[in-house]
């Protein structure tokens, strides 16, 4: 949810900057606006987490059986849940060696719930 809100806020701010630039005006944006969401994210140290418990668990591009598989997940993998959509979990994997990040959907029945606390 907050990711969508962040994109909307940043889009509005960029729109305001563009309008002001084209009109030759100067717009002052206080720095608190840019660190507001980071402060919000740091207030909660607990994240929902799941462990893969099925050998054939796959990450799909959409929350739908038959959707394109983007990655096979290893048994026992710990994953942070970004969002629950019906029987599906939206998962963002940590960056790989090249910094590439995958986001996809995993059936809840392939996981068991748990939580961890980040320090």
Question: Does residue 94 sit in the same domain as residue 79?
Answer: yes
pLDDT given for residue 36 in this prediction: 46
What's the rounded Cα separation, in Å, for the pair 71 and 86? 21
User: In terms of residue numbers, what domain contains 60?
Assistant: 47-117
Question: Does residue 57 sit in the same domain as residue 111?
Answer: yes
Domain boundary among 42, 57, 73: 42
Question: CATH number, domain at 66?
Answer: 2.30.30.40
pLDDT given for residue 91 in this prediction: 93
**93 pLDDT higher than 90:** no
Query: How many domains are there within the chain?
Result: 2
List the one residue out of 112, 38, 40, 42 whose CA is nearest residue 81. 112
pTM of the model: 0.56
The confidence band for 74, taking pLDDT boundaries of 50, 70 and 90, is very high
Question: Does residue 75 sit in the same domain as residue 31?
Answer: no
Question: Does residue 32 sit in the same domain as residue 67?
Answer: no
Quick one: average pLDDT of 18-42? Answer: 54
Question: Does residue 67 sit in the same domain as residue 105?
Answer: yes
What are the pLDDT digits (tens) for 31-61?
555 544 444 444 344 458 899 999 989 999 9
């Amino acid at each position: 949810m907050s990711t969508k809100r962040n994109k909307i806020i940043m889009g509005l701010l960029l729109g305001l900057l563009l309008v002001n630039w084209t009109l030759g005006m100067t717009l002052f944006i206080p720095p608190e606006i840019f660190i507001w969401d980071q402060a919000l994210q740091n207030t909660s140290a607990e994240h929902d987490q799941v462990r893969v418990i099925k050998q054939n668990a796959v990450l799909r591009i959409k929350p739908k059986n038959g959707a394109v598989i983007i990655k096979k997940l290893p048994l026992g993998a710990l994953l942070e849940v970004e969002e629950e959509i019906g029987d599906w979990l939206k998962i963002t994997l940590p960056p790989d060696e090249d910094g590439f990040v995958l986001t996809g959907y995993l059936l809840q029945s392939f996981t068991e719930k748990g939580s961890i606390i980040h320090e």
